[in-house]
Structure 1
Amino acid sequence: MKFDKYRLFWPEYANVDYKLATQIIIEKAKNRASFGVSALAVHGLMTSLTDKNLKKVINNIDLIVPDGQPVRWALNSFYKLGMKDRVYGPTLTLKVLKAANENNLSVFLYGSNQNTSNLFRGFIQNNFPNVTIVGQHIDRFREATEEEDQQDIERINTSKANIVLVGRGCPRQEFWVANHKGSVHAVMMAVGAAFDFHAGTLAQAPEWMQQNGLEWLFRLVKEPKRLWKRYLVTNTHFVLKFFKNKVFLRRPY
């Protein structure tokens, strides 16, 4: 199943909607293809410009979807794509789980803390009973040693998971997905806050705020100490970068 990619500053975003993204993921998952997915919003995009290590690997991820409304707006502005909506990680997760339920696929949960992971597992089991949870790995909140990483890979592959949902926070989850292409035989989805939202441990912004690109404000109010730099500084840099490329360079990268 083919899809087009468009570079925005550096990451190459797929021109997909929820339906096409889900179809691609399920097609790959059925075959247990080693395939990377990231729902990349402004924070991840801008980090890929400032973190040289992330910049090297981000485009190894096969399917990068425009998680944030500002990303969608920028892609439409530069490329006239006419994207009608973003492809929001938590919503994409639900749509993929629904399709996985219809196809009796299996899922491995990788990341987050014990409480959130257990609650997310319960959410999946209650809402998608035909999805088999074949494993959970709680985040170490540090990078694995080489030996630990090999154990993780073997555990996932032995489980025969079709999909690995990765909730390690951006950009740690993007590094993990990009660096495990070819070694983990499953679709790896970096979906970040989907774990917390669907576990019920973190509130989602109202729909009107999401549609108008104001989810960042809702989350900033909820977690000011953790997120002030991400949203106030990073979002400002994004806006300045957009205007520089749009007005002066007249190109998206």
Structure 2
Amino acid sequence: MFNTIHRVQLSSPAKSLPGRPKLKPERKVAISLGLTLLPYNTFIQAVIGAARQHEAAYCCFANVHMVIEAVKDAAFADAVNKSTWVTPDGVPLLWALRAFHRVRQERITGLDVLPSLLEEAAGNQLSVYFYGSTPSILEKCRVFCAECHPTLTIAGMYSPPFRALSADEEQQVIANINASGASMVFVSLGCPKQEKWMAAVSPRISAVLLGIGGALPVLVGAQKRAPRWMQRSGLEWVYRLVQEPRRLVGRYVTTNSLFVYHFLRGLYQYRIRNQV
């Protein structure tokens, strides 16, 4: 059985440009990840502020799967915890924050943030880049943005091959993104690949990288999102499982069981320390 990680290395706040207030979002550890504590709207404005300045920054949207990947893989945990923001995407992480730290935090999901940031980007004349997913989904995304955000500038789109990129290919991708002038890059490679990629390339890209995972197919209507009541009650995973049972059943059985184990273990340790 994997051991619960009690100590995680959190990123230092991004350096602020002259005249811009320093952003030092507080974090609290939930099992293996340090989660950023910010209201939803404050987070959106923080991303837009960094995007305007073309700061090298990246965001991870954490769920149960990511927490357990971080428990199993210290290098992955480090890649996530060094990010500029780690927001609680999954409702169980909100439960963990409340149980371990008595903190009430808004849920900040990639599914919600993507449309919010597209709207903000269009209104603030910030160009965006889409990296990942499939060519067909990217084309649907292009059509969606033209219809719903006609003033939005798409600086570029690229669906990389499933194999690992060579050093030269990766350098060309970085050069292309920088040359595009994009302020934000929406990364859709899936966990843990997208988080590792963002951690590796973020220092060399003058834009905010956001690991949105499977949010893009939902945005363009290729997949449906769970009803609001399932989202609020932490049952969104059940809806996804019904949609893709073969792909997700094994992962959910394993990760959900491990999360419950580490949650209960962490709660027991918290109560012992605080004599609750």
TM superposition score normalised by structure 2? 0.87
Distance 2:84 2:188 in 1: 18
What is the aligned partner in structure 2 of residue 81 from structure 1? 103
Q: Does 1:233 pair with 2:254?
A: yes
SS at match of 2:202: coil
Deviations 1:180-232 (A, max 9, x none): 12101100000011111012111111111111100110111111111112212
Q: Does 1:36 pair with 2:58?
A: yes
**Alpha-carbon distance, 1:49 to partner:** 1.0
Counterpart code for 1:131: L
Q: Which protein shows a greater Rg? A: 2
Q: Does 1:20 pair with 2:74?
A: no
**Alpha-carbon distance, 1:153 to partner:** 0.2
What is the aligned partner in structure 2 of residue 91 from structure 1? 112
Q: Does 1:136 pair with 2:157?
A: yes
Match of 1:72 among 82, 94, 114: 94
Distance 2:163 2:62 in 1: 21
Distance 2:169 2:37 in 1: 36
**Alpha-carbon distance, 1:249 to partner:** 5.2
Distance 2:65 2:71 in 1: 10
Match of 1:5 among 3, 27, 36: 27
**Alpha-carbon distance, 1:21 to partner:** 1.1
**Alpha-carbon distance, 1:55 to partner:** 2.2
TM superposition score normalised by structure 1? 0.95
Could you tell me whether the CA contact under 8 Å between 1:41 and 1:71 is conserved in 2?
yes
What is the aligned partner in structure 1 of residue 70 from structure 2? 48
* Equivalent residue runs for 1:170-181 within 5 Å: 170-181=191-202
Could you tell me whether the CA contact under 8 Å between 1:164 and 1:186 is conserved in 2?
yes
Counterpart code for 2:57: F
Could you tell me whether the CA contact under 8 Å between 1:108 and 1:161 is conserved in 2?
yes
Identity %: 33
SS at match of 2:203: coil
**Alpha-carbon distance, 1:17 to partner:** 2.5
For structure 1, the residue ranges without an aligned partner over 5 or more in a row are none
SS at match of 2:130: strand
Distance 1:164 1:148 in 2: 18
**Alpha-carbon distance, 1:51 to partner:** 2.0
Counterpart code for 2:222: T
Counterpart code for 1:92: V
* Equivalent residue runs for 1:113-152 within 5 Å: 113-152=134-173
Deviations 1:35-73 (A, max 9, x none): 001111110111011123312322121101000000111
What is the aligned partner in structure 1 of residue 228 from structure 2? 207
Could you tell me whether the CA contact under 8 Å between 2:140 and 2:220 is conserved in 1?
yes
SS at match of 1:13: strand
Match of 1:191 among 186, 202, 212: 212
Could you tell me whether the CA contact under 8 Å between 2:100 and 2:266 is conserved in 1?
no
**Alpha-carbon distance, 1:120 to partner:** 1.5
Farther-moved stretch of structure 1 (31-40 vs 118-127): 118-127
Distance 2:171 2:111 in 1: 28
CA RMSD of aligned residues (A): 1.3
SS at match of 2:58: strand
Farther-moved stretch of structure 1 (146-155 vs 120-129): 120-129
Could you tell me whether the CA contact under 8 Å between 2:61 and 2:87 is conserved in 1?
yes
Distance 1:76 1:104 in 2: 38
Counterpart code for 1:44: M
Distance 2:38 2:202 in 1: 21
Could you tell me whether the CA contact under 8 Å between 1:29 and 1:187 is conserved in 2?
yes
Could you tell me whether the CA contact under 8 Å between 1:105 and 1:130 is conserved in 2?
no
